[in-house]
Amino acid sequence: MVFTRSRVAAQAGAAQADPAGPASERDGASQDVRSSFVRTLCVLLLAGTAVTMYFRSLPPVRPDQWAVMRAALPPRNLAAVVAFRDTVLEYGGGNKLRVGVALGLTYVTMQTFAIPGSVSLSLVMGALYGRWLGFVLTALISTAGSSSCYLLSWAIGKPLVGSLWPERLAYFQHEVRSRRGRLLRYMLFLRLTPLLPNVFINLAAPIVGVPLHTFALATLVGCAPNNFVASNAGAHLGELTSLQDLMDPRLLGLGAAAGVIGLASIFWQDKMGAPPPPKK
């Protein structure tokens, strides 16, 4: 009897000491999300401080110029994009290098923290440096910005991404695991098609185990059609009548064809790699 009472008392004490199971897990997950959000804000503050310090080293911007630049991000219509380009060209004058570095830093910061409006900067790159050099610079800078977003998510973003897109993250993780041997082709396909949003890919890729070099190469190559469209449009901005004219049908067709080829290749490899059906 003594032994039974002692055992019951011990179990009761353990039940009282035990956390409240699922409720505790939810509280822990919420705490992780809050911590991740706070750390992201701290990184954003540091990045903003670094960009601000560089901009303070540039020649002063007139109030009217600053008002135009601020109103054009994100772009709402073609007139805002044209005004932004003209203001940057006026401000830069003959010093395209310093202006290009400032635009590049702004571009990387916006992509790192998924801030909309980078299309305006792609257009300005084309206007400043021409179709081909603008395209190369835009491709490199956009890859750097996406890779910076990847690294930020790898460091502090897992709880936040998991809480925002749990089902989509689980799907992406399954797809990456099943295509581990041909991951570059799959990532190229994702970049060439709208199957998953680019922001989600940037944030989720490190969480599901996509290596950085595979991610960066797929971003550089897979986003090339869109970057060329924006750079080419920037070089011929005066010929556009609306933002819809940015969509060159030939380049869009090329990107769609590349996506179809990538998808067909994935299906073909899945079929060839599948085990043969059992003999009856």
List the structure tokens of 254.
């090329």
pTM, to two decimals:
0.70
Mean pLDDT by 10 residues, the chain (280 residues): 45 48 54 66 74 76 84 72 79 74 85 80 82 90 91 82 89 91 87 85 93 92 84 75 62 60 60 49
Q: How far is it, in rounded angstroms, from Cα 252 to Cα 203?
A: 25
Q: For 47-80, give one letter per residue: b (16+ CB within 10 A) or e.
A: beeeeeeeeeeeeeeeeeeeebbeebbebeebeb
Q: What is the pLDDT of residue 10?
A: 46
What is the per-residue pLDDT for 26?
54
Residue 196 · residue 215 · CB < 8 Å: no
pLDDT for the residue numbered 2: 43
| Helices (H), ranges, 20-130 | 22-56, 63-71, 78-92, 96-112, 118-129
